[in-house]
Structures are given as structure tokens and as C-alpha cells.
Amino acid sequence: MGAVRGQLGWGLRRLWRVAAAAAVLVVLPQVARAQIGSDRYSSIVIDVASGTVLEQASPDAPRYPASLAKLMTLYMAFEALRDRRTSLDAIVPVSAHAAEMEPTKLGLVPGTRLTVDQAILGLVTKSANDAAAALAELLGGSEDRFAQMMNLRARAMGMAHTNFANASGLPDERQMSTARDLAVLARRLVSDFPGDYRYFSTPSFTFQGHTIFNHDGMLRSYPGADGMKTGYTEASGHNLVTSAVRGGVRLIGVVLGAGSNAARDVHMAALLDQGFEAMGVPVEPVRPTLVASRAPSLIGTAHAATLNEVHGATLNVAHATAAKPAPAASGWGVQVGSYAIERVAQETAQSARRAAEAGEVRIERVTAHGVTLWRAQVVRLTAARAQGACGALAHGRTPCAVLRPEPGQVASR
């Protein structure tokens, strides 16, 4: 039986590697297919003020939440703070059980001095499983008892298709939720704890001399995004809940079962763009490193748009160091952001050129709706060089997009 599960797991991993690769190379008229055809995918976008559903795909299908379960752990922590059952500076005991949690973790050991504030920060940034278990034991006496409390609260919220088995979201076949239920939970976090919601925007915090960065790339890549949570297990795929506000409108999106972090983030951005448009809120005319399509239905569709057609804007493009015509094999490139200052764009592009170990720097001046930006690019690369450079830059937390040979077309993020 174990061998069968091992073979199945290997097969799934191989399938998702292929799907992720397809998403990385997505161009017009192709689409990102990491989500399509997967029995793990579902999504929903809601307006926070009214609860109106703006977009959905299999929103009530059971899914493994992975670390999105920590959203309920955080809700319970905020509730305890509100009711004065604990305080931010209260010490969270670290048991052997909590210390033994699998990564991702803060590296807690029994006797570690950890405050409630630090535990919350550990959950929202690093998604620390040891901090989640320790916080559960503080608030519930044991993690099992805390899971029961989580389920009682979920029922009270109307999360009828959710069952929690632990505070962290670590794999447990009993632990299930849906995109709709998770959107309900996220909406309650925003509305019930507006003062504590600020935690989800934390870019980093320092613990025991180490700086811990937030895993949520949407905070850096999507204008208006200010939280919430990422999640991943092999069984769940790549999950994400994002809340973003523009023009006085706040939306919450849930994407479950994507094939990679990149595919997940691109898809979330596309869904939120469509949601804001449905609410009458103009979408940003130019977004650094990411241009998503405005197709009528974006479920499973997060393909690139030609930069000169971004959201109907009229773009005036002039490059400072134009690339000479190149054969298709070396016509690829990378884009590493759009900047208000040309010098910053030039420096960023030079750094990307060093990462690619080939190519030429190109700076594009883009004017849209009276706003001038400078796109930092490296061109005249092979496909392998471009993809390798973006991989290295992303590993170093530099946003990157692969440019196809067709002039000015973003292939992937």
C-alpha cells in the first residue's frame, strides 16, 4: 500500500512539474493550464462590503487548505486578544510537541521565549508550524482541543464544509475546506478585527537575530494587496488567499490547487483585476512585471497581453539601448520591473544582465495616463538563459518576467 502511495505521489509530482512548466512558458494564444484539468483547483472572488460573489469555479468542492488553516488559528488568537484572555506580550510556552512540528518553522525548542505577538508574526510571515502549535496549546490547552474550538467557530461563521484537525494545516486527511468557506473566514478577519488585520501586511520581522520575510509575493507584486496567506502541501497544491483594496473597494480572492507559486499569483492577479473591473474600479494601467489578460472568463486563463495593449492604455515606448534584430533563438529577454526613475531601472537591468550572464540591457520609457515609467529589461537571450535568469532573480526576491521573441510581449512571471 505504501509503495502504491509512493508511486501515486511521484506521478502527481511529475504531473504538476509539467503543468508548472507549461504555465511558465505561457504566451498568446496559449493559456496557463496549471489549474485546468486538476481535481484540486477551485477559486472565488468576493466583494468584502456586500459579500457578493464576483467570480467562482468549484467554490464548494472539498479541498485541503494546507497553511490557509492558520487563518482560523489567527482568528482565534485575535479573538482571545479582543476578549482579554491573553495579551500581545504574554509568553507562549513551547512544548516538545510544538517544537517537533515539521518545517516551515521558527526553530522553537522547549523553553524558547516566544510572545503572542511574535507567534502571530511567525504565522503571517513564515507560516511557522511550531508557532501555530504553541499558540494553539496556549489558547486551547492542547492542539486537539484547539482544533475542536476552531471547528466550533467555523460552524458559527457558516463554514459548513470545513473541518480543522490541527492549528497549522499540516497534512491530515480529516482537514478539509472550500474556496467559499475560506473566503467567509477571510472576510470575517477583515471585518471583525480591522486593527489586527495590519499583521497580514508585515513584510518581515526579526526573531532571535534573524530577519524573516513574508512568503506572500502578492504584497510586493499586486497594487492594493495588503494580506493574507499562502499555503502548500503536496496534496493541496499551491493555495492563496489575497485581500486587496482599490478605489475604496476591497476584494478577497481565493485560489486553491495551482501548480506553482508563479501560476497561483498570476491567476490571482487576473481574477482580482476582473473583480475590480466588475465593481467599476479601474485597473492599474501598467503593473511592473505582470500583465494579465482581460478575457471575459479568467478561470484557468492568465495569459500574457501585448504591452502596447495593456488595459486599453496608449503607450509611448522609447528604449535607450535598443536591441538589434535577433534570430528567434536569441530573441528572448527578461523584465525586472518598471520604475519612476530611469537610473534605478538602468541599475536593476544591469544586475539582471549579470544574472543572465548574457544579453543586452534595454530600458523602455512607457507613458500611460500621464504617468511615465521606465521598464528594466535584458534582451537578446536564449529561452534557457531567460528562464534561468528569472529563476535566479526570483530566488533572490527580485520580481522577474520572461519576454517572448515577439517585441514587447510578456510571457510569464
C-alpha distances in angstroms, 18 versus 6, 35, 260, 276, 301? 18, 12, 10, 32, 17
Residue 127 annotated among the catalytic residues of the structure: yes
Q: Using CA of residue 108, residue 113, residue 116, residue 120, what is the dihedral sign?
A: negative
Which of the following is catalytic: 67, 243, 293, 412? 67
209 Rama class: left (phi>0) / alpha (psi -120 to 50) / beta = left
Distance CA 144, CA 125 (A): 24
Known catalytic residue at 38:
no
Instruction: List the grid coordinates of 4.
Output: 502504491
Question: Can you say whether the dihedral through the CA atoms of 14, 260, 74, 205 is positive or negative?
Answer: positive
Cell of 380: 537578446
- 377: helix, strand or coil: strand
Single-letter amino acid code for the residue at 174? R
| 18 C-beta neighbours (distance < 10 Å), count | 12
**Integer Cα distance of 314 and 368 in angstroms:** 6
**Active site residue: 43, 58, 127, 293, which one?**
127
CB-count exposure of residue 96 (10 Å: 0-12, 13-18, 19+):
exposed
Given the residues 42, 43, 70, 293, select the one marked as catalytic: 70
* Catalytic machinery residues: 67, 70, 127
